[in-house]
Amino acid sequence: MENSKPTKTPCCPSTRLLPHDGIALTDHTKYRSMVGALEYLTFTSPKLAFSVHQLCQFMSSPTSAHLEVPKHVLRYVRGALTHGISFTPGPLTLTAFSDADWAGDPTDHCSTTGLLVFLGPSLISWSAKKQNTVLRSSKKLNILP
Protein backbone atom coordinates (compact mmCIF):
# COMPACT_ATOMS: atom_id res chain seq x y z
CA MET A 1 0.00 0.00 0.00
CA GLU A 2 3.06 2.31 0.18
CA ASN A 3 2.83 3.26 -3.50
CA SER A 4 -0.97 3.42 -3.66
CA LYS A 5 -2.82 6.55 -4.73
CA PRO A 6 -4.42 8.38 -1.74
CA THR A 7 -8.20 8.91 -1.62
CA LYS A 8 -10.08 11.89 -0.21
CA THR A 9 -12.69 9.95 1.79
CA PRO A 10 -12.36 6.97 4.15
CA CYS A 11 -15.32 5.16 2.55
CA CYS A 12 -17.92 5.41 -0.17
CA PRO A 13 -21.18 6.41 1.60
CA SER A 14 -23.36 4.65 -0.98
CA THR A 15 -21.52 1.33 -0.58
CA ARG A 16 -23.03 -1.05 1.97
CA LEU A 17 -21.28 -4.24 2.93
CA LEU A 18 -23.38 -7.38 3.09
CA PRO A 19 -22.39 -10.62 4.86
CA HIS A 20 -22.30 -12.81 1.74
CA ASP A 21 -20.80 -10.43 -0.86
CA GLY A 22 -17.75 -11.92 -2.57
CA ILE A 23 -15.88 -15.17 -1.97
CA ALA A 24 -15.19 -16.29 1.62
CA LEU A 25 -11.54 -15.85 2.63
CA THR A 26 -9.73 -19.01 3.70
CA ASP A 27 -7.26 -17.05 5.88
CA HIS A 28 -8.82 -14.26 7.96
CA THR A 29 -5.48 -13.07 9.38
CA LYS A 30 -4.78 -10.30 6.83
CA TYR A 31 -8.28 -8.84 7.11
CA ARG A 32 -8.28 -8.93 10.91
CA SER A 33 -4.82 -7.40 11.09
CA MET A 34 -5.74 -4.49 8.81
CA VAL A 35 -9.06 -3.80 10.55
CA GLY A 36 -7.43 -4.05 13.99
CA ALA A 37 -4.81 -1.47 13.02
CA LEU A 38 -7.55 0.81 11.65
CA GLU A 39 -9.57 0.36 14.84
CA TYR A 40 -6.61 1.69 16.81
CA LEU A 41 -6.51 4.77 14.54
CA THR A 42 -10.14 5.68 15.34
CA PHE A 43 -8.87 7.09 18.68
CA THR A 44 -7.12 9.89 16.80
CA SER A 45 -9.30 10.19 13.71
CA PRO A 46 -13.09 10.24 14.17
CA LYS A 47 -13.55 10.27 10.38
CA LEU A 48 -12.48 6.61 10.37
CA ALA A 49 -15.00 5.49 13.00
CA PHE A 50 -17.92 4.79 10.65
CA SER A 51 -15.83 2.89 8.09
CA VAL A 52 -14.05 0.81 10.72
CA HIS A 53 -17.36 0.08 12.48
CA GLN A 54 -18.67 -1.36 9.22
CA LEU A 55 -15.54 -3.50 8.78
CA CYS A 56 -15.61 -4.85 12.35
CA GLN A 57 -19.00 -6.47 11.70
CA PHE A 58 -17.33 -9.00 9.38
CA MET A 59 -14.33 -10.04 11.50
CA SER A 60 -15.61 -13.60 11.96
CA SER A 61 -16.23 -14.33 8.27
CA PRO A 62 -14.73 -11.76 5.87
CA THR A 63 -15.00 -12.15 2.10
CA SER A 64 -13.00 -10.88 -0.86
CA ALA A 65 -15.42 -7.93 -1.20
CA HIS A 66 -14.86 -6.98 2.45
CA LEU A 67 -11.07 -7.08 1.97
CA GLU A 68 -11.21 -4.25 -0.59
CA VAL A 69 -12.71 -1.77 1.90
CA PRO A 70 -9.85 -1.68 4.46
CA LYS A 71 -7.47 -1.17 1.53
CA HIS A 72 -9.52 1.90 0.54
CA VAL A 73 -9.42 3.19 4.12
CA LEU A 74 -5.63 2.69 4.23
CA ARG A 75 -5.34 4.74 1.03
CA TYR A 76 -7.30 7.51 2.80
CA VAL A 77 -4.99 7.31 5.84
CA ARG A 78 -1.98 7.58 3.53
CA GLY A 79 -3.30 10.89 2.17
CA ALA A 80 -4.38 12.22 5.57
CA LEU A 81 -1.18 11.72 7.58
CA THR A 82 -0.97 15.44 8.38
CA HIS A 83 -4.61 15.64 9.55
CA GLY A 84 -5.49 15.22 13.20
CA ILE A 85 -7.25 16.62 16.21
CA SER A 86 -5.98 19.89 17.61
CA PHE A 87 -6.98 21.73 20.76
CA THR A 88 -7.56 25.44 20.19
CA PRO A 89 -7.91 27.76 23.20
CA GLY A 90 -11.20 29.62 23.29
CA PRO A 91 -14.41 30.02 25.28
CA LEU A 92 -15.17 26.90 27.32
CA THR A 93 -18.65 26.19 26.01
CA LEU A 94 -19.55 22.50 25.99
CA THR A 95 -21.52 21.55 22.86
CA ALA A 96 -22.72 18.10 21.85
CA PHE A 97 -24.15 16.91 18.53
CA SER A 98 -25.94 13.62 18.00
CA ASP A 99 -27.44 12.09 14.90
CA ALA A 100 -28.61 8.73 13.63
CA ASP A 101 -29.22 7.19 10.25
CA TRP A 102 -32.64 5.75 9.63
CA ALA A 103 -32.41 1.95 9.39
CA GLY A 104 -29.01 2.31 7.75
CA ASP A 105 -27.89 -1.32 8.09
CA PRO A 106 -29.33 -3.27 5.14
CA THR A 107 -28.99 -6.58 7.01
CA ASP A 108 -31.00 -5.94 10.17
CA HIS A 109 -32.32 -2.39 9.50
CA CYS A 110 -30.88 -1.04 12.76
CA SER A 111 -29.72 2.54 13.07
CA THR A 112 -26.23 3.81 13.83
CA THR A 113 -25.99 6.76 16.21
CA GLY A 114 -23.11 9.20 16.25
CA LEU A 115 -22.12 11.68 18.95
CA LEU A 116 -19.59 14.54 18.91
CA VAL A 117 -18.68 16.62 21.97
CA PHE A 118 -16.83 19.94 21.65
CA LEU A 119 -15.24 22.04 24.38
CA GLY A 120 -15.15 25.45 22.74
CA PRO A 121 -14.01 24.88 19.13
CA SER A 122 -12.11 21.66 19.96
CA LEU A 123 -13.45 18.13 19.59
CA ILE A 124 -12.89 16.26 22.87
CA SER A 125 -15.00 13.11 22.48
CA TRP A 126 -16.89 11.13 19.86
CA SER A 127 -18.79 7.89 19.61
CA ALA A 128 -20.61 5.71 17.09
CA LYS A 129 -22.92 2.89 18.15
CA LYS A 130 -25.24 0.52 16.35
CA GLN A 131 -28.68 0.73 17.97
CA ASN A 132 -31.30 -1.94 18.55
CA THR A 133 -34.05 0.36 17.26
CA VAL A 134 -34.56 2.80 14.39
CA LEU A 135 -33.97 6.47 15.30
CA ARG A 136 -34.95 9.51 13.23
CA SER A 137 -33.92 12.65 15.12
CA SER A 138 -30.98 14.89 15.89
CA LYS A 139 -30.52 17.51 18.57
CA LYS A 140 -27.99 20.23 19.42
CA LEU A 141 -27.32 20.70 23.14
CA ASN A 142 -25.65 23.74 24.67
CA ILE A 143 -24.53 23.19 28.23
CA LEU A 144 -23.53 26.29 30.14
CA PRO A 145 -20.28 26.19 32.16
For residue 23, give the amino acid letter: I
CB atoms within 10 A of CB 13: 8
Task: Identify the pLDDT of residue 97.
Answer: 92
DSSP 8-state class, residue 140: E
pTM over 0.85, yes/no? no
In tens, the pLDDT along 23-39 reads 888 888 888 998 888 88
The sign one gets for the Cα dihedral 8, 84, 52, 128 is negative
Q: Which residues of the chain have pLDDT under 50?
A: none
Task: Identify the pLDDT of residue 96.
Answer: 92
Task: Identify the pLDDT of residue 70.
Answer: 86
User: Are residues 65 and 21 in contact, defined by beta-carbon separation less than 8 angstroms?
Assistant: yes
Domain layout of the chain by residue ranges: 1-83, 94-143
- Residues 67, 72: Cα–Cα separation, whole Å: 9
